[in-house]
Structure 1
Amino acid sequence: MIAERYRARADAFEAKVANVRSDQWDNPSPCAKWTARGVVDHVIDMHGVMLGHQIPRTDDPLTDFREARRQVQEALASDRAKAEVATPGGAMTLEDHIDQVVSDDIVLHGWDLARATGQDETISQADLDRLWAAATSVPPELMERFRTPGAFGPGIEVYGREIPVAEDAPLQDRLLGYVGRDPVSKSS
């Protein structure tokens, strides 16, 4: 299940990366510090964090993401997937850590990349339901830590400050606002 969920999400993210035009890589993203390329670089970096090493880089974000994805899929298909790893949230299996961090991350960063490059921003209902349940189940004191830049290490910010969204807004908008993205403003 975890490997299949990752594969589907990686397929969607890879398609977005493949559809970025060469003149769009420097477009600003909803993540204030990153361009479209910065979003992809972050996703690749997080794949490396999950695996415990840096992913080799070329000058092509698509090639680099494919390599990062290949390595994660290889780890998920190996005995290593069931090995316990230390995480900021406590010990868990590598596959659970990948599922809860990098797999979920590529859904939100897929939205960021789509917003930055004018692609389809729709998040699947299954992903919306899962991510909303996960985000809203975090205890308030831990959520505050998630929203504090650098709390989990230099340059790491799990969620941004919540952006108010109407209670009756679509779930995608509520999720995005909750994790610190402005679902309405195209210039966020």
Structure 2
Amino acid sequence: MSTIADRYRVRADAFESKVAAVKADQWENRSPCEEWNARDVVGHIVDMHGVMLRPFGRALGPAPSLQKDPLGAFRAARADIEAVLADPVLAVTEHETPTGKMTAEQHIDRVVSADMVVHGWDLARATGQDDTIDPEEVARMLPDAEGIPEEMRIPGAFGPGIVVLGPEVKVPDDAPLQDRLLGLMGRDPNA
């Protein structure tokens, strides 16, 4: 298994544990993502798993309803992506992405895998869970976050209705690395 597949598994395990810990009466709780509740955060992650499959003419397989079983919906989407990562040919197949040509595993790593880290924080915040991001993840992701082009923050730059990132939230220069990462990702770590 590749390092990317291993990293995906660790991130998916962490996200899944947060989904599993959401209580039935918390799914409508507001998240730090404007206009999204806790269920919407999971729905976004499930949807992005589907986006990763499109370049290969694939779609998400049969899954439980997000409304009735968010955990089951996530597990099914996860299995679809893990099948791509486990396929030695498909994982290294290149395709065009909005940021250039990448292999399937590179695209998964940079988009949906990384998304689970930040949206895991969103879900934890929405549902009163521990919102600490693994410090190794923060250190790994911070350099890329510092280089986010401004066009990624323009609503609709990648198509109608698509918002990749919100405006940067300024944090003090001496803020903890997690807070700096969150600010770069458009989140107020103190909200």
The two structures have a TM-score, normalised by structure 2, of 0.92
Cα RMSD (Å): 1.1
Match of 1:167 among 153, 173, 177: 173
CA displacement at 1:81 relative to structure 2:
0.5
The letter for the 2-side match of 1:183 is P
Partner of residue 70 from structure 2, selected from 61, 68, 73 = 61
Unaligned runs of 5+ in 1: none
Match of 2:183 in 1: 177
Counting matched residue pairs gives 181
CA shift at 1:177, angstroms?
Answer: 0.9
Q: Alpha-carbon deviations, 1:49-99, whole Å to 9, x = none?
A: 001154344121100000010110110010210101110001110000000
Kindly indicate whether residue 98 of structure 2 is the aligned counterpart of residue 96 of structure 1.
no
SS class of match (1:91): strand
Off by >4 Å, runs of 4+ in structure 1: none
Structure 1 residue aligned with 2:156: 150
TM, length-normalised to structure 1? 0.93
| Aligned partner (choices 33, 49, 52) of residue 50 of structure 1 | 52
Distance 1:113 1:153 in 2: 26
- Structure 2 residue ranges without an equivalent (≥5): none
What aligned pairs does 1:24-35 form with structure 2 within 5 A after superposition? Answer: 24-35=26-37
Q: Which amino acid is the alignment partner of residue 116 of structure 1?
A: A
- Residue 122 of structure 2 corresponds to 112
Instruction: Indicate the percent of aligned positions where both proteins have the same amino acid.
Output: 58
Deviation at 1:158, TM superposition (A): 1.8
Deviation (angstroms), 1:156: 2.2
